[in-house]
Structure 1
């Protein structure tokens, strides 16, 4: 696994900021205000780009394809440059905090068998300023001196225990590869204090440039970033329920008399990860007696998403963020999006492309289809970051199963990587259904068109393009 160290960007080359950059930080911060506006306009750019592409496809002139590719490559270079700049800026801010830290090393002594309890007891009451010091770990009964290796081992051991189901703090959802707070954590003594501690650990790992072998749900990354979740994020939790909500938005609900601004106990129990003690929940005051109409169905869907992905675990989210933001301010981490934050926390995965190809199933295509062969040729030319983006796009996470891609999990068990033929206009972007590890790939007319469309999708596509 490639490290994302404080002095490196993800391509592995050194990227320290030049001397004297500190005095330019106000201007850099102003630059990120512009970046936010650029991000907000990406969807508009995509629509404009799709229109241009469609227009160029109709044009039989020889230069049309090259115009389309150059448009996409220019857009991709702008996004890549902004992301690289964001990482450099993030690390420069972290280095500043390290340099301003005046206290000594942060020393802890833990027992391997009780790494969670010992770490929790020794770190939870320490002032946040102490946490910025260099971590020095000792495993009791062992003579090893921490020159960095023991710290890395401590992070791995601790994260393994924190996210074990026996701890009751986090639960896996969807494909059983991603975590978010467990609504039943209330049965764990001092559970909110533990969530604050976990927030500190994740932030400390970012602060120290250490990687954690943990992958959160897309909605939980959004909570860390302060980004509003949407009903699209429910697909990773329950695709059938997501389809019901999507159907509501696309069809007339006037003839559904019992649809009100509430969730009944059985419905909530099913969605909220088999929570054992639930009651009917009103999505708004008096919701049991308020019918959902054509005019209010979007409000209903938004409130359902907020309840399932936020309100049901709001105390846990708040406690995690309280600990996390002691080290990493919200305005600093918010320069990333959810997919970039995953790679920042967990690092770039080692993806065996031959293993992925051997474990892929096809619908509408075969392994001999021209589009499929072009796809693998294009992907073989990807750098490690684009490979991670592709895996995120199709499966919802960049995590690779320990047993290889034959053990890839879907919403209801083992589910291999899928490539389905997408019917319709050939200039469409690829789309994905992460709960089924499914890539819907249109029948493009050339390898160059496939490459351009696929790169645009994994770099810039949002929910409107099928990112589940």
Structure 2
């Protein structure tokens, strides 16, 4: 018990399973706390991090600060123990954890429409009417834009400077407005990021992370979505001999990143692999063929694989299992 980073007691769960060697997160079924906002809408085509979670920009309460510190500590535990947790966070959060401030161009990844609008105002580059004369510019923007900006959760507007709501944007003030808007967007969640970093620093010295890029830090904490089947196969234990095993590797190699995530969730209770499948032991147990679907034991990352006689049948059965057998709970 002394070697464990944490212990969790699950209550009112109907699923019966053994306590295996792996930590099953079942992250795809969990709803993040209110300290996060999924404003990178999955349905929007204007963001690159669709479906990711950003920090909630609402003024944090003492409870929220404490929650963020705990979250930061959990991220530190992931780095210390090489466990992974499903923190599907926007790239700007990973940058902030490293003490970096994103640029307006990088902010496009979470809200391209807002970043583009700031750039259009600053550069007088409206695609429908570029390089407007001052009088036309004032007519287009003056009635619609003042020195306020919508918070990223779209719940309220904030002044970019004192009395901003009563000051209209003009051609002469466009650079001032754009500079204030950019500064607000990239520093909107500084207080929340500071709380995350405070929690992280209790587990891992922040200086030790400065050689990492945001993408490298993300992979260390949450793992890889598009992992290599060769990496998985390298640490696999196959119990028995049958051609179905080769079919399994071939089918997994043809899976899309989304299907790989579904496979992980079905077989292991998580949606990603550790980087390069490091430390992962995937067990394939061959069982008699009785027409059934594959069976998963998520605590041990074990797949009971029937001895299918063709690759096509195996693919059909495995896809049925990962798409329709997503829940561990038996109720």
TM-score bracket, shorter-length normalisation? 0.5 to 0.7
Choose from 181, 190, 201 the match for 1:325.
201
Are 2:177 and 1:300 aligned?
yes
- With the length of structure 1 as denominator, give the TM-score of the two structures: 0.38
Aligned to 1:233: 106
Residues 90-101 of structure 1 correspond to what in structure 2 (within 5 A)? none
Q: Is the alpha carbon distance of 1:142 and 1:170 closer, same or farther for their aligned partners in structure 2, counting shifts above 3 Å?
A: same
Aligned to 2:120: 247
Take 1:111 and 1:185, find their aligned partners in 2: how far apart are those partners? 32
Take 1:314 and 1:335, find their aligned partners in 2: how far apart are those partners? 21
Q: Secondary structure at the match of 1:193?
A: helix
The Cα shift of 1:221 comes to 1.2
The Cα shift of 1:245 comes to 1.7
Choose from 37, 44, 53 the match for 1:171.
37
Aligned to 1:359: none
Aligned residues of 1:260 and 1:287 also touching (Cα < 8 A) = yes
Aligned to 1:346: 222
Aligned residues of 1:168 and 1:184 also touching (Cα < 8 A) = no
Q: Is the alpha carbon distance of 1:192 and 1:109 closer, same or farther for their aligned partners in structure 2, counting shifts above 3 Å?
A: same
Aligned to 2:258: 401
Residues 311-322 of structure 1 correspond to what in structure 2 (within 5 A)? 311=188, 313-322=189-198
Are 2:9 and 1:111 aligned?
yes
Q: Is the alpha carbon distance of 1:185 and 1:142 closer, same or farther for their aligned partners in structure 2, counting shifts above 3 Å?
A: farther
Choose from 83, 89, 111 the match for 1:216.
89
- With the length of structure 2 as denominator, give the TM-score of the two structures: 0.52
Take 1:404 and 1:190, find their aligned partners in 2: how far apart are those partners? 33
Aligned to 1:262: 148
Aligned to 1:272: 152
Aligned to 1:281: 158
Unaligned runs of 5+ in 2: 43-49, 125-130, 230-255, 263-331
Unaligned runs of 5+ in 1: 1-103, 116-140, 354-398, 406-468
Q: Secondary structure at the match of 2:37?
A: strand
Are 2:73 and 1:206 aligned?
no
Q: Is the alpha carbon distance of 1:299 and 1:222 closer, same or farther for their aligned partners in structure 2, counting shifts above 3 Å?
A: farther
Aligned residues of 1:168 and 1:185 also touching (Cα < 8 A) = no
RMSD of aligned C-alpha atoms? 3.9
The Cα shift of 1:298 comes to 4.6
Take 2:4 and 2:195, find their aligned partners in 1: how far apart are those partners? 23
Q: Is the alpha carbon distance of 1:293 and 1:344 closer, same or farther for their aligned partners in structure 2, counting shifts above 3 Å?
A: farther
Are 2:213 and 1:337 aligned?
yes
The Cα shift of 1:297 comes to 4.0
Aligned to 1:56: none
Aligned pairs, number: 213
1:329-377: CA deviation from partner (whole Å, max 9, x where unpaired): 3322121222222222222333589xxxxxxxxxxxxxxxxxxxxxxxx
Aligned residues of 2:69 and 2:197 also touching (Cα < 8 A) = yes
The Cα shift of 1:292 comes to 5.3
